[in-house]
Structure 1
Amino acid sequence: MAMHPSTQPNGDHGVPPSPDEVIDKLRDLVSVNHLDQDVAAMHIRAMALMGRLKSLHRAANTATRVRKDATADARHEMDQSHLGLQNLLYEKRHLEREIEKCRQFASIYQDVPLYSMEEFKRLAPEEACTEDVLSDEHQLMLNRLSFELAERQRLDLRRKELLQRKEDLLKESKTKAATMDNVKSQIDQLIKSAADTRKKIETFVPSIQTPDAIAPG
């Protein structure tokens, strides 16, 4: 994993040199070892050491600030990673609950009376009950449900056709019955009219005796 530029051990913002050496030299300047030295030279040397010490102090402050920034960045990345992990765990638990709900879900298909496996294999299309389908429990159930739906739709359509045919036959029968009743009524009227006509004829025309009815002379 690549390190942050500010955290490289050998970078521009690495750990600054220790000030111990400079401090030791300053202590040495004020020791009894240099009492006989030229004061001006000692002052110049001390100022140089102080400048070096200030430079090291600034470098230490800069390194400290850089390290604080690097630590803050690392903490932020760690917090983001932790948050991402928490989100993943939450999503995992959510998916596990949903999977369990799906497993416990009681679908209506479980109560639907289906054709038996023998009937399904015998009546269903060949592609609906291949070896691959029969070895796949999920796909087999889908195919059985699809076949059951298609059969019910077919039978329902056939039932509707038969009902419509029945209604048509009933209408035709009623029509023929009405026609027959009308014809019978007309025949009855013709018979009655013929009988009335015969009575009138018998009233106005004398009866004619047949030869067999005349007595021998």
Structure 2
Amino acid sequence: MSPQTTEEPYEAVINGLQALVDPAYLTHDPAALHARASALTGRLKSLARAANSATRATKNLTAAARHDMDQSHLGLQNLLYEKRHLEREIEKCRQFASVYQDIPLYTLDEFKVLAPPEASTDDVLSDEHQLLLNRLSFEFVERQRLDKMKKELIQQKEELLKESKAKLSTMDSVKTQIETLVKVASEVQKKVDELVLPIPTVNADTPG
């Protein structure tokens, strides 16, 4: 209900009530005046209820519109936040330095010579992405092979060191035994020398 259509009935009812208190109506039938006043009062109350309903409806519409606007604003803020987040993630991806960039690889010429033929076909060489994948794969296999060889050499070295230590220990043991035997022999010789009487020296001038 528009303000104009609401004000006009209000004005008509108010004018009607004011007219009832005009001195010109003093000679009219009181019952008729009372009925007229009751009718106008009822009409006024009806208009007031209609105005209140219209006000509530307007408030509800305003609240709904404000809620929709708030939801739209919130949705827009969420989209802007998501947009900024995606932009940051994209920038991170652009600036990301992958580990493979720091891995020293075989040169392309070395790769062509050392890698299996199927890893360096013309189709592969014309595809930079696939070529890089094949080079990384070959590098991985080569490093596994070299690592295995390194471990085998380390094991051989440890076994040789162990064997060398065992031989050195045996030599030390033999040396100790020899020194012990020499010492014992020396002591035995000393005791023998003490027990054996010295042979008298024969004088050549003494007659026989």
1:111 is aligned to 2:111: no
State the Cα deviation string for residues 2-41 of structure 1 (Å, max 9, x = none): xxxxxxxxxxxx7796352463366367299x86865533
Q: Contact between 2:111 and 2:135, CA under 8 Å: does it hold in 1?
A: yes
Looking at structure 2, the residues matched to 142 and 85 of structure 1 have their Cα atoms a distance apart, in angstroms, of 42
State the Cα deviation string for residues 28-81 of structure 1 (Å, max 9, x = none): 67299x868655334423321221121111121122123213312331232133
Task: Call closer, same or farther: CA 1:88–1:148 in 2, change over 3 Å.
Answer: same
- TM-score between the two structures when normalised by the length of structure 2: 0.56
Task: Tell me the percent identity.
Answer: 60
Please identify, of 81-90 and 110-119, the stretch whose mean Cα deviation from structure 2 is larger. Answer: 110-119
Looking at structure 2, the residues matched to 128 and 18 of structure 1 have their Cα atoms a distance apart, in angstroms, of 89
1:83 is aligned to 2:71: no
Letter in 1 for 2:149: R
Q: Contact between 1:120 and 1:144, CA under 8 Å: does it hold in 2?
A: yes
Residue among 25, 31, 44 paired with 1:40: 31
Q: Contact between 1:15 and 1:60, CA under 8 Å: does it hold in 2?
A: no
1:27 is aligned to 2:27: no
Shift of 1:100: 0.8
- TM-score between the two structures when normalised by the length of structure 1: 0.54
Residue among 44, 52, 61 paired with 2:52: 61
Task: Call closer, same or farther: CA 1:85–1:140 in 2, change over 3 Å.
Answer: farther
3-state DSSP of counterpart to 1:115: coil
3-state DSSP of counterpart to 1:113: coil
Looking at structure 2, the residues matched to 140 and 119 of structure 1 have their Cα atoms a distance apart, in angstroms, of 13
The 5-angstrom pairing of residues 159-178 of structure 1 reads 159-165=150-156, 168=159
Structure ranking higher on relative contact order (CA contacts 8 Å, 6+ apart): 1
Looking at structure 2, the residues matched to 130 and 86 of structure 1 have their Cα atoms a distance apart, in angstroms, of 52
Other-structure match for 1:4:
none
Shift of 1:159: 2.8
Task: Call closer, same or farther: CA 1:99–1:18 in 2, change over 3 Å.
Answer: same
Task: Call closer, same or farther: CA 1:136–1:15 in 2, change over 3 Å.
Answer: farther
State the Cα deviation string for residues 95-149 of structure 1 (Å, max 9, x = none): 2112212211333421222234455466258489895896473x65445334322
Q: Contact between 2:6 and 2:51, CA under 8 Å: does it hold in 1?
A: no
3-state DSSP of counterpart to 2:6: coil
Letter in 1 for 2:8: D
How many pairs are equivalent? Answer: 165
Letter in 2 for 1:20: E
Task: Call closer, same or farther: CA 1:140–1:80 in 2, change over 3 Å.
Answer: farther
Unaligned runs of 5+ in 1: 1-13, 183-217
Higher helix share: 2
Letter in 2 for 1:18: T
Kindly report the root-mean-square deviation, in angstroms, between the aligned alpha carbons of the 2 structures.
4.5
Letter in 1 for 2:12: D
Q: Contact between 1:114 and 1:148, CA under 8 Å: does it hold in 2?
A: yes
